[in-house]
Amino acid sequence: MNEYDSNRISDLMASIEYKKVNEVESADCFIFNTCHIREKATQKVYSDIGKIKKIFKDKKQKPIFVLAGCVAQAESSMVFEKSDFVDIVVGPQAYHKLPSLIKNYNSNNNKILNTDLDVSNKFDSLENYKNLTSKVSSFITIQEGCDKFCKFCVVPYTRGPEFSRDPEQIVNEISNLVNNGTREITLLGQNVSGYNNKGINLAKLINQIATIKSLKRIRFTTSHPNDFDEELIGLFNYQEKLMPQLHLPVQSGSNKILNLMNRKHTREFYLELIDKFKNARNDIQFSSDFIIGYPGETDKDFEETLDLIDKVKFSNSFSFIYSQRPGTPAVDYIQISKEIAQNRLEILQNKLFDLQIKHNESKINKENKVLLENLTSKGDQFFGRNEYMQPVFVEGSEYVPGDEINVTIYSCNKNNLFGLAKN
Ligand code: SF4
């Protein structure tokens, strides 16, 4: 979502005649769009601000420095106490105001803080600025915020309550992206499966989007397991533009830990849901998120997570040691030791890694439909992705980004597939 937001910020800045530069020294405005989901990301922000400050230490003109995104939202005016280099702090639901905030800053040089959470205002205002993205595979935010309040998560506090964008606005923005060259769209939301605006749910929205003629592929992320109904599951059975790969975070395979996390579902419910998707489309693949070392996690709980991974056989996943986030309930729980958590993470990641390799190897000597995104720097090879989101390098330079071709895979490594186009 930050990538989408950053692109929109770039569109906004273009409207007041700012353009991107490649040299750090030649910039007269910096905008850091930040993530607060893990402690490490937050620390990195302040360290990177320090690096920019150092570069401009002896320069006559100080650049305008904007801190945007979820760190800005969470830390609010504290940002100014932590770094005197920051001039404007703007939250993820207020960045559409940047053109006027920057103009105001230019005229009176006072520090500016804007952390309003009025998301509908943001999207109405963004409609006035054309989305200039021209990538083959593009993101679009359709839903923001979350009402689930998992006990480890900052999203409900930084992005605010659930909000679903107007469907007409979404279809218009995607049509514009498709006119600019987009062939694959990923619909984004913190809880995207809960999308609902004026009776249009995610299934209905996807069917509307699928009518855009030159759009070839549709994906969506990230979903909460509790927000799938038969209509949405059934879509995988008949909607040909919906790709057979689903990111479905589970976080833990232990009912005790799921309860402590306030995930509001059990492992049995999750596994049943996986079966329902497989019944709808038997070649569907899953990826997930795992939090390891959550307060209260015992060896038995961890074993249950490994067991769930064995049962689902995820094609790839994200896994992290639990990170204490200020303001969330779990921050006050008794933490488990770092060594134990690190050890468990390694075991879990090895298992996920083995599954990923097996998943990649299973594609060798098979035909894959690949959507080509760009010619690589080698000049004689294209980069693209198959229907399951696996990165594929295809020999040849005779294609055009956006082509969808049949490719036979001849080898793979952990992350990539390598193939030849089928004549
Ligand atoms: S459902 Fe996802 S975004 Fe919402 S609180 Fe839980 S982890 Fe955070």
Assign residue 175 the CATH number of its domain: 3.30.750.210
Please state, in angstroms and as integers, the Cα–Cα distance from residue 40 to each residue in 31, 43, 74, 149, 219, following that order. 19, 5, 15, 21, 29
Number of domains in the chain: 4
Q: What is d(CA 80, CA 45) in angstroms, rounded to the nearest whole number? A: 13
- Residues 23, 112, single domain; the answer is yes
Cis omega (within 30 of 0) for bond into 133: no
Q: Which pLDDT tens digit goes with each residue over 347-399? A: 999 999 999 999 999 999 999 999 999 999 999 999 999 999 999 999 999 99
Domain that holds residue 406: 367-421
- Residues 381, 346, single domain; the answer is no
Top mutation candidate among 152, 155, 159, 248 for ligand 1, by most atoms within 8 Å of CB: 155
Residue 223 covered by a domain: yes
Residue 107's pLDDT is 67
Q: What is d(CA 134, CA 131) in angstroms, rounded to the nearest whole number? A: 9
- Residues 223, 265, single domain; the answer is no
Q: Does the beta carbon of 191 sit less than 6 angstroms from any atom of ligand 1?
A: yes
Residue 258 covered by a domain: yes
Compute the mean pLDDT over every residue in the chain, rounded to the nearest whole number: 94
CB half-sphere exposure, 243, CA atoms < 13 A: 28
Q: Which pLDDT tens digit goes with each residue over 9-48? A: 999 999 999 999 999 999 999 999 999 888 888 889 999 9
Residue 12's pLDDT is 95
- Residues 283, 216, single domain; the answer is no
Residue 128 covered by a domain: no
CB of 370 within 8 A of CB of 407?
A: yes
State the Cα angle at 304 between 306 and 221, rounded to 5°. 65
- Residues 53, 155, single domain; the answer is no
- Residues 332, 411, single domain; the answer is no
- Residues 12, 61, single domain; the answer is yes
Residue numbers in the chain where pLDDT is lower than 70:
107, 423
Residue 205 covered by a domain: yes
Closest ligand 1 atom, residue 153 Cα? 8
CB of 216 within 8 A of CB of 167?
A: no
Top mutation candidate among 151, 224, 259 for ligand 1, by most atoms within 8 Å of CB: 224
- Residues 6, 76, single domain; the answer is yes
Q: The CATH number of the domain where 331 resides is what?
A: 3.30.750.200
Residue 30 covered by a domain: yes
CA dihedral sign of residues 41, 165, 231, 369: negative
Q: Does the beta carbon of 140 sit less than 6 angstroms from any atom of ligand 1?
A: no
CB of 77 within 8 A of CB of 89?
A: yes
Helix axes 202-209, 230-238, angle to 10 degrees: 30
Residue 412 covered by a domain: yes
Q: Does the beta carbon of 224 sit less than 6 angstroms from any atom of ligand 1?
A: yes
Residue 248 covered by a domain: no
Residue 24 covered by a domain: yes
- Residues 323, 274, single domain; the answer is yes
- Residues 230, 266, single domain; the answer is no
Domain's final residue, options 217, 243, 269: 243
Closest ligand 1 atom, residue 224 Cα? 1
Domain's final residue, options 118, 146, 180: 118
Closest among 280, 346, 355 to 311, alpha carbons compared: 355
Residue 18's pLDDT is 94
Residue 7's pLDDT is 94
Q: Does the beta carbon of 248 sit less than 6 angstroms from any atom of ligand 1?
A: no
- Residues 216, 259, single domain; the answer is no
Q: What is d(CA 11, CA 5) in angstroms, rounded to the nearest whole number? A: 10
- Residues 18, 90, single domain; the answer is yes
Closest among 292, 288, 290 to 339, alpha carbons compared: 292
Q: The CATH number of the domain where 396 resides is what?
A: 2.40.50.140
Return the structure tokens found at 386.
């198959």
Domain's final residue, options 118, 142, 162: 118
Q: Does the beta carbon of 291 sit less than 6 angstroms from any atom of ligand 1?
A: no
- The answer to pTM > 0.85 is yes
Give the residue, by CA position, lying nearest to ligand 1 atom 8.
Answer: 153
